[in-house]
Amino acid sequence: MESRAKVLGHGAHPILVAFPIGLLLSSIGFDLLRLITGKKIWGQLAFWNITFGCVSGWISMLPAVVDWWFLPWRTRAKRIATIHAVAADGGINLFLASWMLRRKDPENPPLKALLLSALGGLVLGLVGWLGGELVQRMGVGVIPGAHLDAPHD
């Protein structure tokens, strides 16, 4: 199944997801640098990466909804895409919760905010794996004659 939401002939969702993935996961690295070095600038960078990571994540979901809508019901691809979408939203919302805990003092995030970001990062790992399953194994959004019920193995 070819993507219905395209930019210059390429599926828009795979292009757009690089931004939230990079921003949100690097925020975890900045949090670690904040803990290791004690320099407050890393906390600020993590805060702004989460800000733009969440916004770009929600934007990347718009073309994904279009592609999801056109997946045939009762296919393995539709089931995996649904889990992928719910997990992606959940992962971004974990980062949003972390952002909300940080917003009063971004340079000194509470431990709870760091844990929420770490959990969000783990969820995004699952989301990426499921997205890879859809694109690499099944050809969703890439191959016109995609095998939407391709087995796991």
More confident residue, 153 or 145: 145
What six digits make up the tokens of 76?
């393995």
User: Domain range holding 94?
Assistant: 6-137
The pLDDT mean for the chain works out to 93
Q: Kindly state whether residue 129 falls inside one of the protein's structural domains.
A: yes
In a domain, 147, yes or no: no
With respect to residue 128, please indicate whether it lies within any of the assigned structural domains.
Answer: yes
For residue 96, being part of any structural domain is answered with yes
Is residue 143 one of the residues assigned to a domain?
Answer: no
> In which band, very low, low, confident or very high, does the pLDDT at 82 lie, cut at 50, 70 and 90?
very high
Residue 75 within a domain:
yes
Residue 152 domain-assigned (yes or no): no
Residue 153 lies in a domain: no
Number of domains in the chain: 1
Distance set, CA 4 to CA 46, 77, 122, 129, 152 (Å):
34, 15, 29, 22, 25
3-state SS of 34-103? HHHHCCHHHHHHHHHHHHHHHHHHHHHHHHHHHHHHCCCCCCHHHHHHHHHHHHHHHHHHHHHHHHHHHC
Model confidence at 148: pLDDT above 70: yes
- Could you read off the pLDDT of 34-64 as tens digits, one per residue? 999 999 999 999 999 999 999 999 999 999 9
Residue 2 pLDDT class (50, 70, 90 cuts)? confident
Which residues does residue 141 pair with via DSSP β-bridges, in sequence order? 2
